[in-house]
Chain A
């Protein structure tokens, strides 16, 4: 089966930096996606990695190591509105479905 693991919950304070890890063991790999999901809402796209290394987009960065089956999402200068679930998803092949992890619920406090 396909396995994607993330921590269930994390807490952090406003202005801080937080790293959310994701490890995966899947039968194929064609990209790793990070989505943000506020309660009761749709997942919104944050970042995408298909090659090893770091992708930076403003306050958010995502890293991938394919040999280790590992990714992380780095959120800088945390704001209260960043309180949400962060979903790691892997695509096995081009054009196929995303396989999601259970998500990490991040709580940001002042």
Chain B
């Protein structure tokens, strides 16, 4: 069964450093998402991406964040200058299409990258 994959599984970095989190969405999916979950808290939306551009972003997704689809398979989240409060599990998700009333709009999540900023 196709699945979303993410690398690395764990990342430790120093405050102020740049990190790039990588995701390979399910191959026939067109919509891509990043979410994060701080330990013990709820899953929070960061950004969605379709047709090579951001379609929606949350207040969390400020200027230090960026996303890119550098080739036909990868989808990346870059944090330019990490802060202590960026420590969280980052999940990538993808869906086939967002139309209403169809199971094909279900978002499937990758296993996550646990980011620790020291």
Interface secondary structure of A, over-half rule: loop
Give Cα A97–Cα B110 distance, bound, in whole angstroms.
16
Q: Which of A87-103 contact B (CB under 8 A)?
A: 87, 89, 94-103
Partner of B101, one of A33, A50, A100, A101: A50
Query: Could you tell me the distance in whole angstroms from the C-beta of A8 to the nearest C-beta in chain B?
Result: 11
Question: Which one, A18-26, A41-49, A63-71, A72-80, is touching chain B?
Answer: A41-49
Chain B contact-residue range equals: 20 to 34
B58 touches A94 (CB 8 A): no
B76 within 8 A of A: no
**B35 / chain A contacts, CB cutoff of 8 Å:** 97-98
**A103 / chain B contacts, CB cutoff of 8 Å:** 42
**B112 / chain A contacts, CB cutoff of 8 Å:** 41-42
B31 within 8 A of A: yes
Query: Could you tell me the distance in whole angstroms from the C-beta of B50 to the nearest C-beta in chain A?
Result: 7
B103 touches A48 (CB 8 A): yes
Partner of B100, one of A30, A40, A42: A30
Partner of A102, one of B42, B50, B107: B42
**B45 / chain A contacts, CB cutoff of 8 Å:** 97-99
B44 within 8 A of A: yes
A33 touches B106 (CB 8 A): yes
**B100 / chain A contacts, CB cutoff of 8 Å:** 30-31, 50, 94
Give Cα A103–Cα B55 distance, bound, in whole angstroms.
26
B106 touches A45 (CB 8 A): yes
B111 touches A95 (CB 8 A): no
B109 within 8 A of A: yes
Give Cα A102–Cα B45 distance, bound, in whole angstroms.
13
Query: Could you tell me the distance in whole angstroms from the C-beta of B11 to the nearest C-beta in chain A?
Result: 15
